[in-house]
Structure 1
Amino acid sequence: MSLEFVITSLIVIASPGTGVLYTLATALSRGARASVAAAFGCTLGIVPHIAAAMLGLAAVLHTSALAFQALKWLGVLYLLYMAWQALRERGALQVDENVRVGSLRETIVTGFLINILNPKLSIFFLAFLPQFIQAGELHPLLRMLELGLIFMALTYAVFVVYGLAAARVRSRVISQPSVMTWLRRAFAGGFVLLGAKLALAER
């Protein structure tokens, strides 16, 4: 593992995206425990993309317009659904003082779906990971798997930090209905913008 890989990965991970937005929204509405579950779900959503990059399935998404467009529009629709849920005070921005095991499971599944429905991630890993594999590497797939696991660990750590930091100010936020209203609008707008960005994405 190179320092260059870690630094580049951290820049990519820390950049605002759907996973960061979802983790922050969950932390502010439901607290630290739920934000950790959100971070875990978003991290799990990376697994299929790394597997796709290793197996060459990402190349299919890159060359097949139909496959790429189908997965892309499912992702767009899901992000718009997330925006609608935020405005209706449901989903990630539903204030819940008693976070149950069942609701944590739903939080993980939502985070997983947010990432798995973004075809750009598979293509990203197909282009990103090989840059850090030397030409003479004896086991390139194992090396790619190692880098993928490191990327996942960094993702989980960064998202947990985001979530726990947001959870610390949660009590001040949820005690002010006007602030929560504007936050819901802001997060809904964020999901819409990310959905629009994905809709405009090309292979």
Structure 2
Amino acid sequence: MNTALTATYALTVLLLIATPGPVVALVVNTAAASGWRKALFTALGTNWASLVLIAAAAWVIMTSAAIDKAWLSGMSLVGCLFIAYIAYGTLKDALHTPASSDPASVPMRRDRGGLWQGFMVGISNPKDIIFFISFFPQFIQITESFEKSMVVLSLLWIAIDFAVLSLYIFAIGKIASTRSNRIITLVSGVMLLLIAVVGMAYNVRGLMA
């Protein structure tokens, strides 16, 4: 195994996942609004999406298929619209939640996040799509076997992804209160909306080019 290349891949994945994006915003928002259990299921959903994207990247490498940029931009655009929909619901809930100091006065939203919503945000995350399709193949030579490399890369991604998201969930649990949860929900909602708007603008420009 190429230790240096493996370490570079692990560091790249760590920085990619730890950097705030739609997945982190959704997991943090879910932890604040619906509790750590729902947030963990959301993280599992994003992991599931990552495996699908890894499988797509493996297919591209094996077949040497060229990805149509218009198709990729279109798929990312749909993902951005979905992220914008989640952002709208998040901000609507946060703005209608009273800034009370009594946690019992504000019911937890159990419909926030979850396995399916985590999967949908993960599979439509422009950052992950670009990484798996264009950047991921550069690390395929960490071992002499293609199959073994795919297994190692996949396991490293899943382990780092779940560890980082779990740390976010743990951190939110430590600072949880009605006031802090409302602020976290507002911030994550704004972040999701900004990501969606920037992503839509970028992909619309790509489709019109």
Q: Same fold (TM over 0.5)?
A: yes
Matched residue, 1:85: 89
Q: What's the CA shift for 1:98?
A: 8.5
Aligned to 1:110: 117
The 2-side partners of 1:139 and 1:183 are apart by: 44
What does residue range 183-202 of structure 1 map to in structure 2 within 5 Å? 183-199=184-200, 200-201=202-203, 202=206
Conserved? CA contact 1:54–1:141, under 8 Å = no
SS in 2 for 1:133: helix
| Structure-1 separation of matches of 2:151 and 2:73 | 27
Identify if the C-alpha distance between structure 1 residues 98 and 84 changes in structure 2 by more than 3 Å, giving closer, same or farther: closer
Structure-2 separation of matches of 1:196 and 1:98: 25
Aligned residues: 189
CA separation of 1:49 and 1:96: change in aligned 2, threshold 3 A: farther
Choose the corresponding residue for 2:15, options 11, 17, 40: 11
Counterpart position of 1:52: 56
Q: Which runs of 4+ in 1 moved over 3 A?
A: 57-62, 95-99, 179-185
Deviation (angstroms), 1:158: 0.6
Report how far residue 141 of structure 1 moved.
Answer: 3.9
CA distance in 2, matches of 1:183, 1:23: 11
Asked if the contact 2:88–2:193 (Cα under 8 Å) also holds between the matched residues in 1, the reply is no
Letter in 1 for 2:199: L
CA offsets, 1:33-80, max 9 Å, x none?
122112111111111110110001897683241x22331221111111
What is the aligned partner in structure 1 of residue 67 from structure 2? 62
**What is the CA distance between 1:124 and its match in structure 2?**
1.3
Partner secondary structure for residue 80 of structure 1: helix
- Residue 20 of structure 1 corresponds to 24
1:150 aligns with 2:156: yes
Of residues 134, 144, 167 in structure 2, which corresponds to 1:127? 134
| Inter-partner Cα distance in structure 1 for 2:73 and 2:133 | 18
- Give matches, 1:94-109, under 5 Å: 96-97=107-108, 107-109=114-116
State the TM-score, normalizing by the size of structure 1. Answer: 0.78
Q: Distance in 2 between matches of 1:56 and 1:110?
A: 26
In 2: Cα distance, 1:113 partner to 1:63 partner: 21
Q: Structure 1's 134 and 188: CA in aligned 2 closer, same or farther, altered over 3 A?
A: closer
1:160 aligns with 2:166: yes
What is the TM-score with the length of structure 2 in the denominator? 0.76
Structure 1 gaps of 5+ residues are none
Q: Contact (CA 8 Å) 1:129, 1:144: kept in 2 or not?
A: no
CA distance in 2, matches of 1:184, 1:59: 42
| Residues 9/148 of structure 1: CA separation in 2 closer, same or farther (3 Å cut) | same
